[in-house]
Structure 1
Amino acid sequence: MKNVDYIIVGDGYAGLFFAHQLITNNKSFVIFSEGRRSASQVSAGIVNPVVLKKFTTFWKAQEQIDFLKESLKEIEDYTGKKYLLEFPIHRIFHDENEQKLWLKKSDNDELKDFLNENFTHLDVVKNNFNTGKVNQSARLDVNGFFEGLFSFLENNEKLIKEKFDYSCLNTKESVYKDINFKNIIFCEGIGVKDNPFFSGIPVNPNKGHHIKVKLSTSMPENITIKKKHFLFPTNDDLYFYGGTYDRDQLYNHIDDSAVEQLVKGLSEFYPYDFEVREVNFGFRPTVKDRRPIIGRHHEYKNLYVFNGLGARGILNGCYFSKNLYDFIENNTPIHEEVSLERFN
């Protein structure tokens, strides 16, 4: 038998950032990875403190940005690679009214550290009303992050590449197959619907598509451009453009209408030819109140859920992984706004 402090089920942002908490606190664990590309792994990796539709911010934005940067430095120390790309977002303004709203909001105490007052004009793309730069915005090297962490976990014999089988879990004895555990953390995203212990949590799938395109005229390398969606260069001489939000067409295949939406969106500000080389999609686990769900099972006190990260998976996954760890190990209360208990 193998003895561990924790079993983590799920290999997206929630699972990996919780694994980081365990690594920094010298806890023993294994993490179950099915090997399928999760919604996290096909995400844009945008780190953004501003809601760019309305120029507002969100709960604990500054704390989440600061904690992410600190955590990524720690992860870089033990994986030997850098994952945070300090490429700021430039939001293309639709008209003068958006410019004025941006300037007005940049005086707001909550937003002054995020909304740059000096507008920028970009070459190549259509931006007749210039762009607004989001201070402290960045991007995670998503492929590098998952490759680096999976490699570290595998080399340290913490990665189990198989689907977790709920029928093999003995809750009375705290045993799964040949593993004795103290706690299990379920971080399965939309897969939680098949979990007999937490299938009732109110997580809803939100389908997101993105395209990878070959541009005929290159863009600036060190920024992320946003109008309806995000555009930025990838490591393979292509550009990522996306992603969409769809709560209705939830089939497990590419939706032509989503691809059309993306092609049209890119054409609105990129006036040259481009070719779609790749289409990807994933299902974000979202919650109606836009807060994650963290908590302990009402009956089995060493079973926990960490889910509902939504479109801010990087920030939510990183920041609230510590809240969950402190709750389990130190009895620190879970924030009411993200607690599973808020649904009881």
Structure 2
Amino acid sequence: MIYDFILVGHGLAGSILAQTLVAHNFTVLVIDEPKANSASNVAAGLMNPLAGKRFAKSWLADVLVPFATNFYQALEQDRQIKLFHAKPILKLFSSVEEQNNWMGKSAGQPYGDFIKAVYTSLPSSKIIKQEQGGILIDKGGYVHVSLLLENLQQIRIEQKELVTDRFDFNYLTLTDSGVQYKEWQAQNIIFCEGFQAALNPYFSWLPFSLNKGEVLIIKTTEQLATEQVYNKGVYVVPQPDGAFKVGATYNWRTVDEMPTEAGKEELFNKIKDILKVPFTVVDHKAGIRPAVRDRRPLIGIHPKHERIKIFNGMGSKGVMMAPYLAHHFVQVLKGAEELLPEINILRYITLYREHY
């Protein structure tokens, strides 16, 4: 059998792309070496239409958010599981100064219907430090990423479309009609490797800005409200078992997958700036984000080898970006759309020429 696509990597980006390709009647073979501490598994799966310290509207949020919501809800219905938890995000102000600064900056921002309410103050709470008020962000929520990946993996196994193995470039051969990897043939190969793409011999010229993120799983002595996600320096996201995932750090200096005491201490101190009640840390994880210099994904076709493609670089926004961008990329592969220039790897063609 000659597949339409071999996909390398089955994290958040790869699994959603594989599902989308199959939905459009393409044949796929996924090659993946599962890792418990992959960035996809470590992430809290937060979907936040407003982001950054300035809380500006995220790029393409008006398109990405509803598309992603529909994608996860359709998969929920198909698999009869709960994956996406639509929750408002309460961005708490740290001070009156921050409140005033935000109110001034927000006047000219096109937030649309993503801001549900702005509170100059909130009632005193025995659990949350919320007296300075905050912004209630609508259309957000979180995806149970590990459960999502587990179900998409199960689909690929059921369809006999998954090979559990570490990809070895020594066995990849380009042919006149496509590619061959070991005993498998395909017309194309798409790399969805996450941070490991920085070591990919075909795409190492791309300007990845890898960074390590650490998260804590905590339990509180008094039950924290679960009808919303809290954000104040870090996010506090409810988990199915009653715990909360807190994160994340950003470390560009030491890019490995080992949790650190420094990361734990940073998160610990930020949690104490949100919670008034004691908490215990029950787990501590770290993963590497495949972020990019200009904070836009890296998607497209290799400048020299048209059979080789990449779908990567979504950083901490994969939950929000991957469903629509997978759909868009499939339309590009079908010849129905032109690849968005903001995500096209050819925006870095000068780096490729310098490299080769």
User: TM-score, with normalisation over the residues of structure 2?
Assistant: 0.91
**3-state SS, counterpart of residue 116 of structure 1:** strand
| Equivalent of residue 157 in structure 1, options 156, 160, 163 | 160
Partner SS state of residue 244, structure 1: coil
Task: Give 1:228's aligned amino acid.
Answer: G
Change in 2 beyond 3 A, CA 1:5/1:163: same
Distance 1:326 1:29 in 2: 16
- After superposition, the Cα gap between the structure-2 partners of 1:140 and 1:184, relative to the gap in structure 1 and judged at 3 Å, is same
* Distance apart, 1:98 and its partner CA: 3.2
2:78 aligned partner: 78
Matched, 1:136 2:135: no
Q: 1:195 aligns with which of 197, 200, 209?
A: 200
**C-alpha separation in 1, matches of 2:46 and 2:290:** 17
Matched position secondary structure for 2:341: coil
Instruction: Output the CA distance in 2 between the equivalents of 1:105 and 1:319.
Output: 29
- The letter for the 1-side match of 2:2 is N
Structure 1 counterpart of 2:78, one-letter code: Y
Give the secondary structure class of the aligned counterpart of 1:249. coil
Residue of 246, 249, 255 corresponding to 2:251: 246
Q: CA deviation at 1:105?
A: 5.5
Task: Flag structure 1 segments of 5+ consecutive residues without an equivalent.
Answer: none
Residue 183 (str. 1) matches residue 188 (str. 2): yes
Q: How much has 1:35 moved relative to structure 2?
A: 1.2
Q: Does 1:27 align with 2:26?
A: yes
**RMSD (Å) for aligned C-alpha atoms:** 1.8
**CA offset at residue 63 of structure 1?**
0.5
The equivalent residue for 1:218 is 223
Specify the alignment match of 1:317 in structure 2.
322
- Offset from partner CA, 1:165-193 (integer Å, 9 cap, x none): 21111211522122121111101111113
> Does the CA-based 8 Å contact 1:190-1:204 persist in structure 2?
no
Q: Are the counterparts in 1 of residues 12 and 149 from structure 2 also a CA contact under 8 Å?
A: no
The whole-number CA distance in structure 2 between the counterparts of 1:274 and 1:167 is 49
> 1: distance between equivalents of 2:277 and 2:238?
16
Q: 1:96, 1:112 → 2: CA distance? A: 25
Q: Is the 8 A contact 1:214 1:275 kept in 2?
A: yes
Q: Deviations over 1:261-306 (max 9, x none)?
A: 0001101121222111111000001111100111111222111011
Q: Which amino acid aligns with 1:54?
A: R
> 1:102–1:115: 8 Å Cα contact kept in structure 2?
no
Superposed displacement of residue 159, structure 1: 1.6
**1:263-342, aligned counterparts within 5 Å?**
263-330=268-335, 332-342=337-347
Whether the aligned pair in 1 keeps the contact of 2:217 and 2:246 (CA below 8 Å) is yes
Number of residue-to-residue matches in the alignment: 343
| Structure 2 CA distance for aligned equivalents of residues 273 and 304 of structure 1 | 49
Match of 1:227 among 227, 232, 237: 232
Rounded Cα–Cα distance in structure 2 between residues aligned with 1:285 and 1:122: 40
5+ residue gaps, structure 2, are 350-356
2:354 counterpart residue number: none
Give yes or no for contact 1:20–1:75 (8 Å, CA) kept in 2.
no
Contact 1:206 1:284 in 2 (8 A): yes
Q: How far has the Cα of 1:341 moved from its partner?
A: 0.6
Q: Does residue 11 in structure 1 map to residue 14 in structure 2? A: no
Indicate conservation of the 8 Å contact 1:6/1:30, yes or no.
yes
Secondary structure in structure 2 of the residue aligned to 1:117: strand
Q: Is 1:169 the equivalent of 2:172?
A: yes
What is the correspondence of 1:83-94 to structure 2 with a 5 Å cutoff?
83-94=83-94
Moved over 4 A (4+): 101-109
In 2, are the aligned partners of 1:202 and 1:287 still within 8 Å (CA)?
yes
Whole-Å separation in 2 of the counterparts to 1:291 and 1:121: 39
Q: Helix, strand or coil: the match of 1:204?
A: coil
- The answer on whether the counterparts of 1:81 and 1:148 sit within 8 Å (CA) in structure 2 is no
- What's the offset of the Cα at 1:52? 4.9
| Alignment-derived partner of residue 353 in structure 2 | none
Contact 1:88 1:223 in 2 (8 A): yes
Contact persistence 2:87–2:138 (CA under 8 A): no
Kindly state the Cα deviation for residue 108 of structure 1 after the two structures are TM-superposed.
Answer: 4.3
Quickly say closer, same or farther: Cα 1:11–1:122, change in 2 above 3 A.
farther
